[in-house]
Structure 1
Amino acid sequence: MPYQDVFVLFWDQVKESIHEGRFAKLTMAKTIGKPNLKNIFVRPIYSKEDFKVLVKLRYASKETEDEEKELSLEDAFNFLKSHLKTSFSTVLLFTTTKDVTFKINKKDAGKITENVPTFRDVTQAKK
């Protein structure tokens, strides 16, 4: 299955974990090539009005300062999707019940695997 379709299925698990209050963190890893952008981290910001995420871009060079953006879930999806295959080939979802890994292989196919949870508790991002 093309990685774009599998990523939508993966994102459904992200939304489900948020809805159930199990979303701990999301990380984009496994860079493609040698980009300055090293990782993208996504942490939850729960509030009574709505749900947002804090997206942190971590760079390899010390000269480039890390960036943070507060985004809606839909904006975060589009932002992360734009970095698939161009900067990163792996996305890790950490929830309190399981870890879910999305990977793109060399044939542009997506794959989702599940493992035991790394996190026991949800830690909100600090603004």
Structure 2
Amino acid sequence: MSYEPIFALFWERVKQSIQDKTFAKLTLAKTIGDTEIKNVYVRPVLLENDMMKMSVIARYKTEEIESFHSLEDTYPVLFSYMNNPFLSALLFTTENDVVFKLNKKRAGSITEQAPTFKSASDVILEMKEKGI
């Protein structure tokens, strides 16, 4: 069974948290084996024209590579990292932490935990302030 439908549900939670202005941070973690890439961090950024993009920072052993994508274009970028090499994605919001995990059989699951962050990301707060 493919984990894509479960990851798509997880992505809907990401989009909803941005819309609800509760998004704090998104991280891909827990790699398979010792890999060059260590983490992927995702956060919203506001451009000069108050247009929001998603900053995707891939952190490797020796460097960091940042790329910018629309919210919709961020999904395939993150999906390409799942199971190659990452096994989990963590969405931190002010309401709860949402965790997408792949088990040994590569079946996806989503769990929720109490929130780690008390406030949304700075960009989300700025967007709320500007009414974006």
TM over 0.5: yes
**Amino acid in structure 2 at the alignment position of 1:50:** M
Hey, what's the Cα distance between the residues in 1 that align with 2:46 and 2:10? 21
Query: Any unmatched runs of 5+ in structure 2?
Result: 124-132
How many residues align structurally? 122
Q: Which has the higher helix share?
A: 2
The range that moved more, 50-59 or 19-28, is 50-59
Report deviation, 1:49: 4.7
TM-score by length of structure 1 reads: 0.88
**Amino acid in structure 2 at the alignment position of 1:19:** Q
Report deviation, 1:28: 0.2
Q: Verify the 8 A CA contact 2:89 2:100 in the aligned structure 1.
A: yes
Query: Any unmatched runs of 5+ in structure 1?
Result: none
Two-structure CA RMSD over aligned residues (Å)? 1.6
* Aligned equivalent of 2:96: 98
Moved >3 Å (runs of 4+): 46-50
Report deviation, 1:76: 1.1
Hey, what's the Cα distance between the residues in 1 that align with 2:55 and 2:104? 30
Hey, what's the Cα distance between the residues in 2 that align with 1:52 and 1:115? 27
Hey, what's the Cα distance between the residues in 1 that align with 2:93 and 2:46? 15
* Aligned equivalent of 1:68: 66
* Aligned equivalent of 1:122: 120
Q: Verify the 8 A CA contact 1:24 1:44 in the aligned structure 2.
A: no
TM-score by length of structure 2 reads: 0.85
